[in-house]
Structure 1
Amino acid sequence: MGTYAAELATEPAPAGGPGPGVADAPPHRHGGDAAGAAGRPWIVGRVGGPEDRLRLLCLPQAGGSTGSFAPWRLAMGLPGFELATVELPGRGVGSGETMPDTLEELADAVIDGVRDELDMPYALFGHSFGALLGHRIAVRVAERGLRPPSALVVSASRAPHAPVRKRVSHLDDAGLLAWLEGFGGFPPELSRYPAYLTYALRTVRRDLALVEEYRPAAAVPVGCPLHVFGGAEDPLVSGEQLELWRECAAGGFTSRLLPGGHDYLFTGAAAMTAALAATLL
C-alpha cells in the first residue's frame, strides 16, 4: 500500500533498468548503519546530527523498503530529528531473510533488530502496512518492558480492529498489478522487466497477506500519544476510516489530512516532514 515497489530495494533491477534502491544519504550520527540481532543492518540510510532530540523509526508500505523514504531524506534538515528507516526482511540488506508468517512475529523480529536504537527518545512512524506494524511494535515494546516510544504516528491505514474492506493478496500478478495501478501504486516502467516485476509483486503480495490476516478482536490502546495522518484524496483510506484509530489512543490523539493521494507523504515530502516536526517536537 502506498507507492508500492516504486522504491523497492529488494534486489537489483535488470541491467539497464531503473535500479530502485536505497538512496545515498548524508552522514549520520553513528558513522555506520546499525546492525541488529540478526547480524545485519536494520537501519539503513540514517539522517541526523548530534543535536537531534528524537529518533524517528520509519516503517514502509507493503513492498517498500528504506528506499521508500528517499524523498524524506531530501526534504529533511529539520533540527531535532534523526531519521532512522527500518529495513524489513525480504528486501535490501535483508533480502536473504524470510518474512515471518504473522504480523505479530514480524513486530518481534523488528524489535529484536532495532533494540539498540531505543537508547534515546524515539517515535514510531508507519505508512499503510507500516502503520499496522508500528502499532503492533508499540504494543509489544510495552509488553516486553522496553523503553516505550514517545509517540506512534500512523499514516494512510485502517485501524487494526477495523475490518479489511477489500482483500487483494490472493490475486494473480495481473490482478494485483491492476489494483496497484488503479491508485498510482506501481511505476509503469517496471512492466518492461518481467522477471523483476514478478519479484516485486511477490514482495507486495506477501506483505499484504500479513495485514489482511491481522485484526485484533478489539482496539488495543497504546501507552503513548497517537497521531494519524492521511491523504485528502486517498482512494483507499478515507478520513472517516482514519478516525477509528482514536479507539487505539490511551493518551493524546490528533488526526490530520494533507493534500494528495495514498502516497501523499512522498509526493509532498516537505509538507509531511514539516507537519511531523510541528506535531512531535
Structure 2
Amino acid sequence: MGRVRASRPRVRLFCLPQAGGSAASFAPWRLAPPSGVELATVELPGRGVRGTDPLPETMEELADAVIDGISDEFDLPYAIFGHSFGALLGYEIAVGIARRGLTPPRALLVSAARSPHTPVRRRVSDRDDAGLLAWLNSFGGIPSELSRYPAYLRYALRTVRRDLALTEAYLAPGPERVDCPLHVLGGADDPLISGAQLERWRDCAAGEFSLRLLPGGHDYLFTGAPAALDALGTTLR
C-alpha cells in the first residue's frame, strides 16, 4: 500500500483506482495532498507489487480481500474513496465492513460510477483489443504515449478487461444502505456517467448524502487534480 503521511492526520483516506489502475494511479496526488489527510493508496491483487497474487472472481471477493488487507489500519479515523471501478469496490467494502462489525468509515466517497443497483447499460469487456482501446481512448482512458509500448499496452488492456468484467457482473441487491455519510463526485462533462446516474447513489445512503460535479470528463480526477483534491479536503473536514 502506498502512503503519503500528514504531520497531524485527522483522517486516513483509502484510495481505490479505476479499472486497470493501481496504487500508482494516485501518484500525482502526492505532490499536494489535502491538509490533515493521510493518503493510503490501495494496491489490488494482480497488479503492481501484487502482480502474482490470486485474482478474485467477483467484486464481493475482491472487497473481502481488500478488507483483509486494510482492517489493521483502522486505528485512525478513516474514509474510503473510489473512482469509477473503485467506487463500486469502495461501496462493497463499506458494506462488508458493516457486516463484519468492524469500525465503520467516517465517510464513503465515490466518483464517476453508476450506482451499485443500476444495471450495466452495455458490455465492453468482450471487445477485442482494438475495440476496447478505441472505447478507452474516447474518454482519455489510456495515455496516448503509452500506446507506443506494445507489451505494456497488452498488459494494461488485459487488466482493464478483467476489472470491467467484474464491474459488468456486479449488481447489488437492494441496495444495502451504508451507515456512514455518502459523498458522490463526478465530472460535469463525463460522457459515461451522467448527473442523473450519480443521483441514484442517494438510494445507498442511510443518512448524510451529497453530490458535487467538478469541471472535466470521466478522468476529471486526474486532469483537474487540484480541484478534485480541494473537494476531497473540504468534504473530509
How many pairs does the alignment contain? 237
Per the alignment, in what secondary structure is the counterpart of residue 43 of structure 2?
Answer: coil
State whether residues 100 and 106 of structure 1, in contact with CA within 8 Å, keep that contact through their aligned partners in structure 2: yes
**Please, which of 60, 73, 83 is the counterpart of residue 117 of structure 1?**
73
CA contact (8 A) 2:13 2:39 kept: yes
Q: Which residue in the other structure is 1:157 paired with?
A: 113
Of all paired residues, the percent bearing the same amino acid is: 69
Q: How does 1:226-245 map to 2 (within 5 A)?
A: 226-245=182-201
Q: Give, in whole Å, the separation in 2 of the partners of 1:50 and 1:143.
A: 33
Shift of 1:191: 2.1
Using the alignment, how far apart are the partners of 1:274 and 1:111 within structure 2? 27
Q: Secondary structure of the residue that 1:149 maps to in structure 2?
A: coil
Partner of 1:179: 135
**Structure 2 unaligned blocks of 5 or more:** none
Q: Which of the pair is proportionally richer in helix?
A: 2
What SS does structure 1 have at the residue aligned with 2:94?
helix
Output the TM-score relative to the length of structure 1: 0.83
1:71 alignment partner, SS class: helix
CA distance in 1, matches of 2:35, 2:27: 18
Query: What is the alpha-carbon distance in structure 2 between the residues aligned to residue 58 and residue 231 of structure 1?
Result: 18
Report whether the alignment pairs 1:261 with 2:189: no
Rounded to whole Å, the distance in 1 between the matches of 2:93 and 2:37 is: 20
CA RMSD of aligned residues (A): 0.9
Letter in 2 for 1:271: A
1:57 maps to 14
- In the alignment, which residue of structure 1 is the partner of 2:35? 79
Residue 79 of structure 1 deviates from its aligned partner by: 2.4
1:90 equivalent in alignment to 2:46:
yes
Q: Deviations over 1:38-82 (max 9, x none)?
A: xxxxx12x1122410100000000000111111211122x32110
**Equivalent in the alignment of 2:26:** 69
Q: Which residue of 1 aligns with 2:62?
A: 106
**Residue type of the alignment partner of 1:86:** V
Q: Provide Cα deviations, 1:77-110, integer angstroms capped at 9, x if missing partner.
A: x321101100001111101113200000000000
Offset, 1:218: 2.1
Shift of 1:195: 2.0
Q: Deviations over 1:150-198 (max 9, x none)?
A: 0000000000000101210111111100110111111122222222211
Contact 1:61/1:130 (8 A) holds in 2: yes
TM-score calculated relative to the size of structure 2: 0.98
Query: Structure 1: where are the runs of 5+ without partners?
Result: 1-42
SS at match of 1:99: coil
| Residue in 1 that maps onto 2:151 | 195
* Residue pair 1:75, 1:269 contacting (<8 A) in 2 also: no
From 205, 220, 243, the equivalent of 2:161 is: 205
